[in-house]
Each structure stands twice: as structure tokens, then as C-alpha cells.
Amino acid sequence: MATIVAEPTGIPVVEEHHEMSFIRKYIFSSDHKVIGIQFLFLSLFFLLVGGLLAMLMRWQLAWPGRPMPFGGLFPETMAPDGIMLPEFYISLVTMHGTFMVFFAIMLLLVGVFANYLIPLQIGAPDMAFPRLNMLSFWIAVPSGLIALASFAVEGGAAGAGWTSYAPLSGMPEYSGVSMGQQMWIVSLVLLGLSSILGSTNYITTVINMRAPGMLWTRMPLTVWALFVTAILGLLAMPVLSGGLIMLLFDQTIGTHFFLPETGGQPLLWQHLFWFFGHPEVYILILPAMGFVSEILSAGSRKPVFGYKAMVGAIVAIAFLGFIVWGHHMFQSGMNPVLGTSFMVSTLVIAVPSAIKTFNWMGTMWRGNLHFHTPMLFAIGFVMLFVIGGLSGIFMASAPFDIYIHDTYFIVAHIHYVLFGGALFAIFGAIYYWFPKMFGRMMNERWGKIHFALTFIFFNLAFFPMHTQGLAGMMRRLYDTTGYTHTADLQGTHLLITISAFALFSTGVIFAINFFGSMFRGERAPPNPWNATSLEWQTPSPPKHGNWEQAPVVYHGPHEYSHPDVTDKDWLAQNERPDVVSPAGH
Amino acid sequence: MNWSLPENIATYGGKIDALFWVITVVTAIAFVLVEVGIIWFCIKYRRREGQRAFYTHGSKSLEILWTAVPALAMVALGLYSANVWAQIKGRNSAPSESLHIAVSAKQFEWNVTYAGADEVLGTSDDFSTRNQLHFPANRPILVWLESEDVLHSFFIPQLRVKQDAVPGMTIPVWFEATKAGDYQIGCAELCGLGHYRMRARVRIHEPEAYEAWLDEQIAVRTDPGLPTAVAATAGSGGNDVDDGQEARHEHSAGGM
Amino acid sequence: MLEKTGLLATVAAAGLVWACGGGGDADTGDGDTAADAGGETAAPVVDPATAGAISGLIAFEGEAPAAERIDMAEEPECNNAYPGEGALTQNALVSSDGKLGNVFVYVKEGLGAGFPTPSQPAVLDQENCRYHPHILGVQVDQPLLIRNSDPILHNINSQPSINRGFNISQPQAGMETTRDFGMAEVMIPVKCDVHGWMSAYVGVVDHPYYAVSRGDGSFSLPNLPPGDYVVEAWHELFGAQTTNVTVGEGATAEVSFTFNAGMARNAVPLGDPLIIKHADDGSITAVREQSGD
């Protein structure tokens, strides 16, 4: 793709992209693939930061009040003599959640893969608005840096949890944090802006820029999931931004939206936050479901079982996701009658999740299963997501939620969904699409070791939290030894902490494999997995503009083992029907 | 490691625990079905030389089956839960013969106000305790829950009761204990740096013992025998003074 | 919130007394110095040959408010330190001969600026769930060393009006934190949210002429350059009073203040009464009766 740019001299020149400077090509690039890879480095960085914060928390929980190794590196406002202070612990709780939800998982799913995959999978040369796309990345960078920098300001980083419930988040007298809380708000307002720009772009691109023949019913499930996710983001993010700005006003210019002294309503913040927050949870899982559907199909050498039901389930989850927010507020003081209706909508959302799970099993059924690393992570996703989904039923039932609300059971649940679910799918997706991104394969042996260790230590770290929650251990406690009903759970804390340290260490294996393969990995062919979707029908990595010849789509997205194709077990979406006989749909 | 719920001492606790076991059984069936299925498929359909996958785009009847069964299970669970929910947290669920107690949460204390001898809150014989909740067993208790500053959450695990305290709202919470004993209130909603330590003793008395405790409290509080804070004679505290430039480190005890 | 309201009321009441006494700006006192006291002398370096002093007594008339029990039962580490009666509130330290301790006395007007800042820290200790001392004076920018001598969590929540506040914690015994205040402010309330009864007041002034009255009501402000001064005495319950003093060369000026029980603020009520209403349909609601001001 060439563009004509008017030089200041007035002489029109044809600017070829392969002649661009390093800065235009890799820093301020408007190529969706480069932006996707930029997001990849940014979000992996925040995944590391979020993980480090979690390790500090785990130290304190296992050995409360004991000086941390390297604790001397912390200033006395965080950890005098290496002993963590309660206010620092709460900042860690807050910022671990914030980094993981907003800057690691969300950016990995929609920043990295929506950017990288949507144009490639629908056969477009780039996004509809490449410069908006670039802007979206360059807003996300300062947003993350502001959040990170808030640790350094007086009073420390935000200390009201990642949900920042008012009035704790609205009044510095209550939390001891003023600047840090304001930086948290500004950071998320910026991230919301970045996300809205991205979503606008994805939606426009999917609607307008599909290749000839790329019918809605021929879109890979990844694109479907990312498309619906973008709609969720576009509808939910502005609500968060509005709420955040109200909170910022409460903090700075003396409004009282959420402060009760002069008629404000603390529950209003919870409604606004969760009206965004619950769709956000699905923003964090729908794309993962898309990747897994696609990887399972390719790994099983079978079409996705029940493609239309899968699309329907994505849309149903997205729609229901907007009417279940109250299940976070069963014990909040909200009218209990409202609790009943939110309980019903929440239980209903289990149905599309069940459809997806059984259809994934249907996809594997009578397949020819190739256990490469992406496939292992996809299978791991299904096995762990089921646990996260089923534990959700316990808390969806409002009466039982009375007991487990705000306990470690919830912590276990969210980590089974976001780590066992989303992050396993992300690892699978990175192993799967890495060859396309960097033109080299990741090491298979180390990938499998990474999978096995992650799977084991993940379960050892998070499954015991269910039992802690059932014992009644509350969340966000700096030291759990002070309660009679939790004092004897210290052994469980120790097991969790050691497993968490081991889990964090498996990240080193991934990092070495990731960076090592980027430079030393085996050269990747265009289609290393013998997959059907369009991105595999162009060189690895694709050039600027993606296609040597604009693709035309003739087949459905996951046509593996088609009986009419005998020489191979896959049928690319753009293979001409006169080469092979036309496929079913 | 603990695989179950702690001791239940609430009259309605059995309903919550029964719900727990019902959900556990239902989810365990689904769990085993999926996990065993996946592992079985992984073994049975692992890649083999010359094997070709079965080409299918799905099965309408199977898909209807695994849509309908979870849907029915969820509807049943929803109806069951809604019923229990209304009995425990419904607006009019508190029995009318309840004993009223006001609990006010603040960073990082639970202040409990008792109705006194007349059992009516808001009268002059009310009295308060800090971080101690006393009440009799075998009588419904209706707590009027308030917060003075931020959100807190009133949680007594063995009574299966949890309710957020919200500044600006007075929220009724009721429960009835089946036995006497010593338990704890924990704060279950992040309320600041002292959240982890915001706990209070719950002492559930036998009914007669509660009456005795109540009489004792009323007697102590109407006793005029407290000394005025005479500096020279205050037994425990003594002076706590500071003369500015010198002897600033010198102190015994005292101050408010 | 109740404690907070109490503190605010204290400050407000004190402000009212200052206003009535014609003390002018209660916060800093700097601005009015020249006009009111008429002397712009006050060099930072005091000549020992001419230095005078102020000394005095704080008297109390009438019956002092009764002490109340502090319910520390759920903090045994502290409660055990108060055998017998248990811990009692000691807001009003009145001696048997009618003298008032724990009154913050300082030169409010008449001094210049530029006194050196001590590097020696003032110490605020937390022991047996009380602050020691209860009333503390520091100079602007002087380090304030806060120590926890208890094996339990305390937080130190300072609530100044014009300075920058802080709210920090000390979860273990022996922890020490140093803070300072950059502007003169009398007084800054300090509280512990974990133990609602714990409170202290820090008076921040920009010179070394401040004192806290002893148990016998006496205080002294030595090494003071000769001149005309306005001296203020501040008590947390009984408000503040000012008086004009002239200190001659090498002389000790005597000053006395008298507080009485009538100056005590009424106790802050425990909020409005909670009214519980039973509706016909069996529902019960609770409302706070609105106070009619």
C-alpha cells in the first residue's frame, strides 16, 4: 500500500513503506501488525509488574510481618526495615488487580490480538483507521506509566482495591492516599480512551473491510469474539470513564457524588463500576474463548463443533453481561428484591458458557489430536475455565453468596477465570501466532515444559484458596492470623505462597523461550500448523499491506478433514473451488 | 486444609449449608463429566498415523440437550435460591419478636448500642460497647447496621451472616443463634489500612446469662462512683504533661 | 466520625474563644504581630544578658468533668496495663488544689521570624494504647519522631487544617517514623483509628516559646527577649484564652489563666436517635431523626 504525501516543497512523492525510517516503522507505526507487537511488549511488561506485586503480597501472607528479602530496597513509607506496612499491602492489592485486569490481560487480548489478527483473518490490508490505532497505543503507554509512577508519590499508590469503592477512594482522610488515587483515576480514564479508540476501529474494520466472500458466517470465531468484545468495550468503557471523572471531582473539587455527608450515594459508584465491570469480565474472557475455539479446531483437525451455537453463545454472553452487574452487590445494601432478579440473570449466563464448554468437547470428540503447545494450553483453558465457571454458580446463588462474598473463594474464582482461563488462552495464542508475528517458531519442548509446570503450580496456588474461602477467610487482609477462624490456615497460605513463587518462576521459562525464539528460533513456514484461516495463507511475517494478492474467500473458517479433500486434512478459506470441490458452507 | 464450612450456629444456617451441598453435587457432576471427558478424548483421539478426524459441523440434538439440561438446572437452582434468599434477607423476613441492637462501624471499630432495659433503641437507657457484641441465644436478633465513614462488612462466619455497612444507610440484618459461645465479627469489605484488624468479640449468652450481663452493664453505667480526673490522685494514669522545651521524653502514662 | 466531629468542634470552639478575645488570626498569628503588639524587635539571636522569661499558673474553677471508663477490653495488651478501675479518660487534668495541666501555652504575637529549627526530634510515643505526651509542641520543620511501643497495630492519622496531613501505620512494636509540619498551626489533632479513644494534639509554632502546663498548672517560657507579647493558653475541652504581657530586661513576667467548668463544650451526642418504624404491612424501617437546626 502506497500513499501520496505532499512534501513541504509541494512536490508530490510516492512514499514506499519499506523505505520508512526505523522510528516510523517500529515506534510511530500505523501498521496494525507493528502496533499489535508493540502492545505485546507493553502488556507482557505489565504482566511481569503485576506478577511481582503478587509475589510481595504472597510473602506477607505466608510470613506476616517478617522482613522481605531485598526489603531494604523499599522506602520506609512502604516497608521500614523490609517489613511491609498495611497501607503498602493494600496498594499492592489495588495495583496488582489494576495492572492485571487493565494493563496485562485486557491489553493482551484486545490490544495485541485484536490488532494483529482482525485484518489478517478477514483479509484486509490494515485497520480502517490506522492512525487512530497508533494513537490508541500511544495513549495506553502514558496511561500505564502514570499508574506505575503512582507508587513514587507521597501517600503511595491507590489503596481502595481495583474496584475503588467510595467513600474510601473518595476521601484521602480515609485511605491516607490522595495523589496516588487521582493518578489511578487519570490512568484509567486514559486507558478507557485508548480502548474506545481501539474498539471503534475494530468494529468499523470488521463491518467494512472483510475480503470478498468473507461472509459473517465465514468469520473465524476469534474475529467474532473480538468483534463482540469491541462492542462491549465501546458500550461499557464510557460508563467507567464517567464514574471515574465523578470520583475525581469528589476527590479534588469538592463534589459529593459518592460521599454520603451531603447526599451522595456510595452505592452509585458500585452500580457505575459494575455496569462497566461485569461486561469487562467478559471482555477478558470472550476473546480467550475465540482463540481456544480456533486452536482446538486446528489441533483436533476438525471443524468447530456447532459454529453457529458458538457465535450465538458469544452474543448471548455479551448481552447477558450487561444485566448481571448486581450480582457483585448482593450484600451491598442494595434492595434484596433486586438481588433476586440479578441472581436469575446470572444463573442464566451459565447456559451459554455450558454450550461453549460442551461444544469444545464436541470439537475434540473423534478428532485427530495434535498435542502441540498451543493445543495443550487450549485444553488447559477448558479444564480450568470449567472450574472457574462452576465456582461462579456458588456465588451466583445469592443466599450462599452471603457466606462466600468477599472471601478467598472469590479470589480463587477470579483467578481460575482470568489466569486459568484468559491467561492460559493468551499463552496458547502467543505460541500459536508467534511464528506469524516474528517469522520464527517458539521452542516446542520448552513450551510443553512451560505448560506442564504452569498447569501444576497454578492449581497448587489457587485451588487451596477455595478451601480458605469456605473456612471464611476474608479478602484483602494484610495478616490473617488475627481471626480465630483463619489463624490455623497459615499452612495453606504457605503452600499457596511457595506454589505462587514457583508459578512466577515458570514465567522465566516462557521469557527465555519467547526472546530466544525471536532471534534464534527455527524459521517459520507461512502455515506451520496447517491451519485454514487467511493469516496462514500469507508469508510469516506478512509484509506491510499483508497480502501479495488480495484474498477471496470461498469456505468456512475451520474446514479440517473435509472428506472431499484427500491429499491433506485442511482446506484454506481462500482455496479456489475449482482446485478442490466446494465445501459444505 | 479445610474442605467444608465451619460450625453452623444460625437457625437459618442449615438452609445456606444445604444450598452449598446441592450446588456442590450439581457442579461436581458437571466437573467430572467435563474433566473426565477431556482426558478420555485426549487419550482416545490422540494423533495416530493414518487416522483422520471425523468431519462434522455439530449435532443439533446434542446441542439442544446440553443447552436444555443446564438451563433447567439453573432455573431450578434459581427458584430454590430465591426462596431461601427471601427468607433470610427479604425486607420483611426479620421475626417481629426480635431483639434490636444498633451496630455502627467506623475505621476500625465496631460500636454496638444496646436498647437497655426497655428494649427500645433511641432512649436514654441505651448504652454502648466497643468491639463487643453480646446477645442471647435462641432469640432473633435484629441489627441496625450503619457506618460512620467508609464501607465495612459485618461478617460472623458461624452465623452465616454478612452485610455491608454503608455510610448514609441503616440496613437491617437479622439472625438467631442456636447456642451460646464466643465468636468474632470480621470486617469483610476493604476499609483501609486497619481492615485486617477490624474485629470484635461476639459473645452469645444463654438467655438468663444475658439478662445478668445486661443488669451488670446497666448497674456499672449508672454507678456515680467514677472519680473526677484529679491529676494527683488518678491511680492508673497519673500526670501526662509536657513543658515544651525540656523533659519532653518524660512521661508516665495517661493522656486521653 | 463521632471523634472527628468532636475534634472539629474543639477547634471550632477554640477559634470562637480566640475571636472573642481579639486574638485575630488563630492559625498563624504572624500577620497581626506588628499591629497588635507594636514591637518588631525580636531578633532570632537572644542576648542572654537581657533575656527575660514568662512563667505562670493555670487555674481551674468549679468541678472538673468526671472521667469516663475507656472500653479497652478487646485490646488485652493495653488493657492489662490499667488494673483496677481500668483506663479512664483524662481530658481534664485538674489537681486537688484546682490547677489545670495539659494546657498548651505559647507566645502568639510579638516575636519575629527566623528562629533556628531544632534538629533534635520531638517524640510522640504510643504506649499502652495512649499517646505520650497527649499535648505536644514542635517547631515548624522540626522532626517529629513517632514511635510505637505496643506490640499491636496503631495508625497515626493527623488531621491538620492548613498543613499537609498524613495517615500512616505502625503494625509492630519498636517501629519509628519521622514526619514534620511546614507551617505554624495550633493545634493539629492526631488520632488512631484502630483505637478510637487515642488522641493527641500537636501545636506547631515557628519559635521556641511554647510550653505545656504541668500537673500543678505551672509553665514557663524562659530565655525570652524583652518586649510586648500576646500569650495564648489552649485547652482541648475548655478552649483558648489570650493575655498581653510585657517582659522587661532580665525580668520574669508572671501570667495566669483561669479556666472554668462552664467553658466546657457540651459532650457531642452520639448522633441523632435511631427511630424504628413498624409499617402496617409488617415491614420495619429505621431512620435517624433529623436534628432541627
- Which tens digit of pLDDT belongs to each residue from A192-216? 999 999 999 999 999 999 999 999 9
Q: Report the distance separating Cα C14 and Cα C233, nearest Å.
A: 10
Of A462, A460, A454, A459, the closest CA to residue A513 belongs to A454
Is C191 in contact with C131 (CB distance < 8 Å)?
Answer: no
User: Do residues A195 and A174 lie in contact, with contact meaning Cβ atoms separated by under 8 Å?
Assistant: no
Indicate yes or no: pTM above 0.95. no
Q: Which residues 75-114 on chain A approach chain C with CB closer than 8 angstroms?
A: 76-77, 80, 83, 85-87
Distance in angstroms (rounded) separating the CA atoms of residues B85 and B72 = 20
d(CA B188, CA A474): 5
Q: Which residue has the cell 475534634?
A: C7
Q: Cα(B48)–Cα(C80) distance, rounded to whole angstroms?
A: 76
Beta bridge partners of C52: C224
The answer to whether the CB atoms of A336 and B188 lie below 8 A apart is: no
- Model confidence pLDDT, tens digit, residues A397-455: 999 999 999 999 999 999 999 999 999 999 999 999 999 999 999 999 999 999 999 99
CA distance C194 to A520: 58
Looking at residues B239-252, what average pLDDT do you find? 34
Contacting residues for C216 by C-beta, under 8 A, at least 6 apart: C57, C95, C97, C99, C101
Q: Which of B216, B239, B256 to mutate to probe the C interface, most C CBs <10 Å?
A: B256
pLDDT in tens, A140-172: 999 999 999 999 999 999 999 999 999 999 988
Q: What is the pLDDT averaged over residues B130-142?
A: 95
- Helix, strand or coil for residue A404? helix
Task: Give the Cα separation of C243 and C234 in Å (integer).
Answer: 12
pLDDT at B117 (0 to 100): 83
The residue ranking higher by pLDDT, A10 or B87, is B87
- Please give the Cα distance from B161 to B12 (Å, whole number): 10
Contacts B231 to C, Cβ<8 Å: 90, 93-96, 101, 215
- Looking at the DSSP bridge assignments, the partners of residue A344 are none
ipTM of the complex as predicted: 0.90
B255–C169: do the CB atoms touch at under 8 Å? Answer: no
Q: What angle do CA B92, B75, A323 make, to 5 degrees?
A: 75
Q: What's the confidence (pLDDT) of residue C263?
A: 80
Subunit contact B70:A354, Cβ cutoff 8 A = yes
Total residue count of chain C as it appears in this document: 293
Report, in angstroms and rounded to the nearest whole number, the Rg of chain C calculated over CA atoms: 21
The number of residues making up chain B comes to: 256
pLDDT in tens, A558-571: 999 999 888 889 99
Judged against a pLDDT cut of 50, whether residue C6 lies above it is answered with: no
**Residues of chain C contacting A86 with CB distance shorter than 8 Å:** 153, 169, 171
> Residues 6 or more apart from A13 whose CB is under 8 A from it?
A4, A5, A7
More confident residue, B50 or C207: C207
Higher pLDDT, C71 or A426: A426
Indicate the pLDDT class of residue C63, thresholds 50, 70 and 90.
confident
Per-residue pLDDT tens digits for B149-180 = 999 999 999 999 999 999 999 999 999 999 99
Predicted pLDDT of residue A198: 96
pLDDT at A580: 55
Least confident of A23-32, A247-256, C272-281: C272-281
Which residues are CB-neighbours of A278 under 8 A, at least 6 positions away?
A321, A322, A324, A325, A327, A328
Facing B85 at nearest CB: one of A339, A355, A476: A339
Contact B167 A266 (CB under 8 A): yes
Cα separation, A158 vs C57, whole angstroms: 49
Q: What are phi and psi of B38, to 5 degrees?
A: -65, -45
Q: With DSSP H G I counted as helix, E B as strand and the rest as coil, what are the percentages for chain C, rounded to 5?
A: 10, 40, 50
List, as ranges, residues 157-186 from C with C-beta within 8 Å of A.
157, 159, 164-169, 171-172, 175-177
The residue that leads in pLDDT, C12 or A531, is A531
Residue A536 CA neighbour count, 13 Å, CB half:
19
Of C190, C202, C200, C213, which is closest to residue C94 (Cα–Cα)? Answer: C213
Whether A293 contacts A363, CB under 8 Å: yes
Query: Parallel, antiparallel, or unpaired: how do β-strands C122-127 and C130-132 relate?
Result: antiparallel
Mutate to test the interface with B, among C2, C88, C89 (most CBs of B within 10 A): C88
Confidence of residue A292 (pLDDT cuts 50, 70, 90): very high
Of B81, B186, B190, Cβ closest to residue A160: B190
Q: Identify the band that residue B237 occupies on the pLDDT scale cut at 50, 70 and 90.
A: very low
Q: Give the whole-angstrom CA distance, residue C114 versus residue C127.
A: 35
Over residues B5-22, the pLDDT tens digits come to: 999 999 999 999 999 999
SS (H, E, C) A407-457: EHHHHHHHHHHHHHHHHHHHHHHHHHHHHHHHCECCCHHHHHHHHHHHHHH
Grid cell for residue A84 = 511491609
Give me the residues of C, 109-138, that contact A with CB < 8 A.
none
Nearest Cβ partner for B229 among C93, C193, C211: C93
Choose among B8, B192, B87: nearest CA to A339: B87
Least confident of A51-55, A245-249, C37-41: C37-41
Beta bridge mates, B201: B132, B184
Q: Is the peptide bond before A219 cis (omega within 30 degrees of 0)?
A: no
Of chain C, the percentage scoring pLDDT greater than 70 comes to 75
Q: What is the mean pLDDT of residues C193-211?
A: 94
| Residues of chain A contacting B1 with CB distance shorter than 8 Å | 464, 467, 491-492
CA dihedral of residues A562, A567, A572, A576 (deg, nearest 10): -100
Residue A13 has pLDDT above 60, yes or no: no
Handedness of CA A495, A498, A502, A504 (dihedral sign): positive
Angle (CA) B219 B220 B224, round 5°: 95
If 0-12 CB within 10 Å is exposed, 13-18 middle and 19+ buried, where does residue A582 land? exposed
pLDDT digits (tens, 9 = 90+) for B180-204: 999 999 999 999 999 999 999 999 9
DSSP B151: -
Q: Check residue A202 and give its pLDDT.
A: 97
Contacts of A478 in chain C (CB under 8 A): 171
pLDDT tens digits, C94-149: 888 899 999 999 999 998 888 999 999 999 999 999 999 999 999 999 999 999 99
Residue C15 has pLDDT above 90, yes or no: no
Q: Between the CA atoms of C120, C126, C131 and C136, what dihedral angle is there, to the nearest 10 degrees?
A: 10
Tens of pLDDT, residue by residue over C231-246, are 999 999 888 899 999 9
Neighbouring CB atoms inside 10 A of A322's CB total 15
- More confident: A95 or C275: A95
Helix/strand/coil (H, E, C) string of A448-497? HHHHHHHHHHHHHHHHHHHHHHHCCCECCCCCHHHCCCCHHHHHHHHHHH
B84 three-state secondary structure? helix
Q: Classify residue A369 by its DSSP letter.
A: B
What is the maximum span of chain B, computed from C-alpha positions, in angstroms? 100
Nearest alpha carbon to residue A450 among A372, A524, A529, A364: A372
Do A399 and B89 make contact, defined as CB atoms within 8 angstroms? yes
In angstroms, what is the C-alpha Rg of chain B? 28
Please tell me the predicted confidence (pLDDT) of residue A312. 96
Q: Does B104 touch chain A (CB under 8 A)?
A: no
Closest CA to C189 of C136, C123, C241: C136
Task: For residue C57, give every residue at least 6 positions away whose Cβ sits within 8 Å of its Cβ, in sequence order, or none.
Answer: C99, C216, C217, C218, C219, C256, C257
DSSP, res B9: -
As given in the structure block, the three cell numbers for residue B225 are 462512683
pLDDT in tens, A377-402: 999 999 999 999 999 999 999 999 99
When pLDDT is averaged across residues A209-224 and rounded to a whole number, the result is 96
Alpha carbon distance C107, C242 (integer Å): 9
DSSP secondary structure letters along B86-115: HHHHSTT-S-TTPEEEEEEEETTEEEEEE-
Using pLDDT thresholds of 50, 70 and 90, give the confidence band for residue A235: very high
- What does DSSP assign to residue B10? B
Helix (H) or strand (E) holding C141: none
Higher pLDDT, A244 or A582: A244
The span from the CA of B111 to the CA of A322, in Å, is 38
Q: Of the candidates A396, A368, A213, which has an alpha carbon nearest to the alpha carbon of residue A297? A: A368
- What Cα–Cα distance (Å) separates residue C15 from each residue in C10, C23, C234? 8, 9, 10
Task: Kindly list the residues from chain B whose CB atom is less than 8 angstroms away from the CB atom of residue C81.
Answer: 236, 253
Question: Which of B:155-174 have CB within 8 Å of A?
Answer: 155, 157-158, 160-169, 171
Among candidates A540, A561, A576, which has minimal Cα distance to A212? A576
Give chain B positions within 8 Å (CB) of A378: none
pLDDT at residue B231 greater than cutoff 90: no
Answer for the pair A55, A500: CB distance below 8 angstroms, yes or no.
Answer: yes
| Residue C9 pLDDT > 80 | no
Four-point Cα dihedral A285, A288, A293, A299, nearest 10:
-150
